[in-house]
Structure 1
Amino acid sequence: MAVDFETLTYDIGGVQTVVKAIGTGKPVIFLHGAATLEGFDFAAGLADRFRVLCPSHPGMGHSGDAPHVADMRDMLVHYLNLLDALDLAEKPHLIGFSMGGWMATELAAIARDRFDKVVLMAPAGLNDPAHPAADLGAIAPQDLPGYLAHDVAVALRYFPDGSDPAAAEAFGAARGREGDMVGRLCAHHGMGHPNLRRFLARITNPALVVWGTEDRLLPAAQAPLWVAALPDARLHLVEGAGHLLAQERPETMTAIGDFLAA
Structure 2
Amino acid sequence: MDFETITLDIDGVRTVVKASGKGPAVLALHGAATLEGYDWARELAERFRVYLPFHPGFGESDPAPHLNGMQDLIVHNLRLVAALGIDRPHLVGHSMGGWMAAEMAAVAGERFGRLVLNAPAGLNHPDHPGADLATIGPEALPGYLAHNVDVALRYFPGGSHCPPLEEFLAARGKEGEALQSILKVHGMGHPNLGRWLSRIPNETLVVWGEEDRMLPASQAPLWVERIPNARLLIIRGVGHFAMQEAPATVTAIGDFLAA
TM tier relative to shorter chain: over 0.9
Give 1:162 deviation, angstroms: 8.6
CA distance in 2, matches of 1:114, 1:162: 39
Give 2:125's aligned amino acid: D
Could you tell me which of 234, 249, 256 is aligned with 2:253? Answer: 256
List, as ranges, runs of 4+ consecutive aligned residues in structure 1 with deviation greater than 4 Å: none
Whether 1:45 aligns to 2:43 is yes
Question: Counterparts of 1:19-98 in structure 2 under 5 Å?
Answer: 19-88=17-86, 90-98=87-95
**Deviations, residues 165-208 of structure 1 (Å, cap 9, x unaligned):** x8112111111111111111111221000110111000011000
Q: Which residue does 1:197 correspond to in 2?
A: 194
Give 2:120's aligned amino acid: P
**Deviations, residues 56-109 of structure 1 (Å, cap 9, x unaligned):** 000111111112111112111111111110112x31000010000111111111
**Deviations, residues 13-60 of structure 1 (Å, cap 9, x unaligned):** 111111101110000000100000000010112111100000000011
Give 1:235's aligned amino acid: L
CA distance in 2, matches of 1:42, 1:101: 16
Runs (5+) with no aligned partner, structure 1: none
CA distance in 1, matches of 2:215, 2:114: 23
TM-score, with structure 2 as normaliser: 0.97
Give 1:247's aligned amino acid: Q
Question: Counterparts of 1:99-178 in structure 2 under 5 Å?
Answer: 99-161=96-158, 167-178=164-175
Q: Which residue does 2:243 correspond to in 1?
A: 246
Question: Counterparts of 1:172-191 in structure 2 under 5 Å?
Answer: 172-191=169-188
| CA root-mean-square deviation | 1.3
Q: Secondary structure at the match of 1:201?
A: helix
Give 1:260's aligned amino acid: L
Identity of aligned residues (%): 62
**Is 2:110–2:201's contact at 8 Å kept on the other side of the alignment?**
no
CA distance in 1, matches of 2:153, 2:9: 34
Could you tell me which of 206, 215, 218 is aligned with 1:218? Answer: 215
Give 2:58's aligned amino acid: M
* Structure 1 stretch displaced more, 27-36 or 39-48: 39-48
Give 1:64's aligned amino acid: D
Give 1:144's aligned amino acid: L
